Structure 1
Amino acid sequence: MDLGLRSPNGFLSSLSDEDFELIRPYLRTVDLVQDSVLAEVGEKLSRIYFPHRGVISLVVNLARGERVQVAMIGRDSFFGSMSLLGGAESLVLNTAAVLVPGAASVVDIERVRNAAEQSGTFRAQMLRHALAVYLQSQQTAGCNAAHTVESRLARCLLQTHDLSGGNKLYITQESLAQMIGARRNSVSLVASTLQQADFIHYSRGHIEIIDLEGLKKTACECYGTVKSQYDRLMRCHP
């Protein structure tokens, strides 16, 4: 079986033939509709999402109504890893909403749990992805506390580009503010600055990345750190 053609999702394509067969018969494809909520905090998660295209945002809801993104899930991973580690209850730890529209394979969480119980290699691969999401959320917390709005926005745009696989992003101003933990007026000002530098083209709900290298020079260290952590984890094999 050609692993590259098996699935457009990185986690699924990384599995051995034997491990993939444990869940293959149960996979089905769904659309990821922009701004749709896939799971709320405290809910019992029933499905695991493996994006082909698009990006899922994991968001923390604060008491005064603020919503701040703590991690993003794209075509290289899956949503539901942290809930899988929670045992039989499978409670959702962060609100999950579609940041960039696309499509995903979905499967009932019990099918994934059964596969992990049957195969040590499947379980190890799943745990590495869960750790990658956890490390990303830690880095994001530090980034939002220490770095400028401009560098944070550049970082998030680069991550979104990598996870979605496209230069044209459909993201609302409200979602951009959640991504970097900033007010909408700050996002508008910084996006205009990046546009004036010819790094992006920005209009209402639409961003086109024009100069990736320019964005990389503007972004903080966290972009490279998250990327290197993920690459290091995925190079490990059980």
Structure 2
Amino acid sequence: MRWSSRNATDCSNGPISARCRHQRRLANGAVVVVAGVASTLDLDHLRAAADQSATLRAALLRHRLAIYAQIQQTAGCNAAHPVESRLAQCLLQTYDLSGCDRLVLTQESMAQMIGARRNSVSLVAHTLQQANLIHYSRGHIEIADPDGLSRATCECYAAVKARYNRLLCPRRLP
């Protein structure tokens, strides 16, 4: 069995390739979990634009700092916190960053995102649904009560959200 887990969740306006500014190959991959529009940009063009624009360089640096902070927080969270709070955090981050309250996620993909077993995610999703925090049906999740779901998270959700607000998109996340 191959194990994987989510290290970071990026917002729709985040430059995924910014983290590879000085390298040709990525050490990791990106998975799209919410439908949307994406663009690609040749790395050499990105470098040239960043070399000419202090504003772009600063934006790329802020994005990289936010992603690194989230990776560190997620590693600690996965090691220290229960599946319930990790799943609630993952769902809320996806909700916050996508602007969508309806997510298409299977239990298997959620399990991979939080580094848990699928049957654990199934039990937790059922518990969250019983509490009317989410509505879940065969790969479709609706965030029914974001405030209630926020109370089910650990402190890691607020820490990551505050860092994103400071560095990236203060008007995007309330």
TM-score w.r.t. the length of structure 2 is: 0.92
4+ runs of 1 displaced by more than 4 Å? none
Higher relative strand content = 1
Contact 1:176–1:187 at 8 Å: present in 2 too? Answer: yes
Is 1:69 equivalent to 2:3 in the alignment?
no
Q: Which runs of 5+ in 1 are unaligned?
A: 1-63
The answer as to 2:156 corresponding to 1:219 is: no
Residue in structure 2 matched with residue 79 of structure 1 by the alignment? 16
How much has 1:137 moved relative to structure 2? 0.6
The match for 1:149 among 78, 83, 86 is 83
Contact 1:83–1:93 under 8 Å retained in 2: no
CA contact (8 A) 1:82 1:93 kept: no
The Cα shift of 1:90 comes to: 2.4
Q: How far 1:179 sits from its partner (Å)?
A: 1.3
Matched, 1:99 2:33: yes
**Structure 1 pair 139–94 and aligned structure 2 pair: CA distance change class (3 A):** same
Is 1:121 the counterpart of 2:58? The answer is: no
Say yes or no: does 1:161 pair with 2:98. no
TM-superposed deviation, 1:158: 0.4
Q: Does 1:182 align with 2:119?
A: no
Higher helix share: 2
Match of 1:112 among 26, 46, 55: 46
Residue aligned with 2:41, SS: strand
Q: Is the contact made by 1:70 and 1:140 (CA closer than 8 Å) also made in structure 2?
A: yes
What is the CA distance between 1:178 and its match in structure 2?
A: 1.1
Q: Equivalents in 1 of 2:63, 2:16: separation in Å? A: 10
- Specify the alignment match of 2:72 in structure 1: 138
Distance 2:96 2:39 in 1: 19
Looking at structure 2, the residues matched to 73 and 233 of structure 1 have their Cα atoms a distance apart, in angstroms, of 13
Q: Which amino acid aligns with 1:213?
A: D
Percent identity between the aligned chains? Answer: 56
Displacement of 1:235 in angstroms is 7.9
Q: Which runs of 5+ in 2 are unaligned?
A: none
In structure 2, distance between residues paired with 1:128 and 1:182: 30
Matched residues, number:
170
Q: Distance in 2 between matches of 1:147 and 1:193?
A: 17
Residue pair 1:150, 1:190 contacting (<8 A) in 2 also: yes
Q: How far does residue 204 in structure 1 lie from its aligned partner after superposition?
A: 1.1
Q: Is the contact between residue 15 and residue 60 of structure 2 (CA under 8 Å) also seen in structure 1? A: no
Q: Distance in 2 between matches of 1:235 and 1:205?
A: 29
Take 1:149 and 1:235, find their aligned partners in 2: how far apart are those partners?
28
Compare CA radii of gyration and give the structure with the larger one.
1
Q: Deviations over 1:5-27 (max 9, x none)?
A: xxxxxxxxxxxxxxxxxxxxxxx
Q: Classify the secondary structure of the residue corresponding to 2:26.
A: coil
Q: Which amino acid aligns with 2:131?
A: A
Asked if the contact 1:99/1:171 (under 8 Å) is kept, the reply is yes
Q: Report deviation, 1:199.
A: 0.4
